[in-house]
Structure 1
Amino acid sequence: MWFDLGVAVSLVLVLEGLLPTLSPGYFRQLMVSVAQMDDRAIRVSGLISMILGAMLLYWLRH
């Protein structure tokens, strides 16, 4: 179980590092626009992301 968690965290870090590595200018613009979003919009996008991630994980595991 701990090994799988470590792999998952590693993959998240790799994927999150792709955009700033490939296009730092676009990443900066994206962060500015996210900083200007209201809390509700950020919460909803986070919730949608978690639901999609859970569905993908379920689909891949079963």
Structure 2
Amino acid sequence: MSLDSDTLWAAFGLMLIFEGLMPFASPQGWRDKMAQLMVLQDGQIRFFGLVCILAGLLMLWWLG
């Protein structure tokens, strides 16, 4: 798999599309979820971030 700048920009564009779906489709639901996130401990947020990173790396490894 070749990772050139076009692929990187396409991946970034897709990420922005996915990130924008919830605020566009359900602004109030998105706001409620963000409020729930604010009460989580730092360790819980870090764990979720780590799981996302590992899932992304696993997907890249699987696709590569």
TM-score under structure 1 length normalisation:
0.91
Structure holding more helix per residue? 1
Q: Deviations over 1:10-34 (max 9, x none)?
A: 0110000001111111100010011
Tell me what 1:35 maps to: 38
Q: Does 1:15 align with 2:18?
A: yes
Cα deviation, residue 4, structure 1: 1.1
Q: 2:49 aligns with which of 43, 46, 49?
A: 46
Number of positions where the alignment pairs a residue of Structure 1 with one of Structure 2: 61
RMSD across aligned C-alpha pairs, in angstroms?
0.8
Runs of 4+ that moved beyond 4 A:
none
Gapped regions of structure 1 (runs ≥ 5): none
- How far apart in 2 are the matches of 1:7 and 1:38? 33
Tell which has more relative contact order, 1 or 2 (C-alpha 8 A, sep 6+).
Answer: 2
Gapped regions of structure 2 (runs ≥ 5): none
> What fraction of aligned residue pairs are identical, expressed as a percent?
34
- How far apart in 2 are the matches of 1:19 and 1:57? 24
- How far apart in 2 are the matches of 1:23 and 1:54? 29
AA in 2 matched with 1:35? M
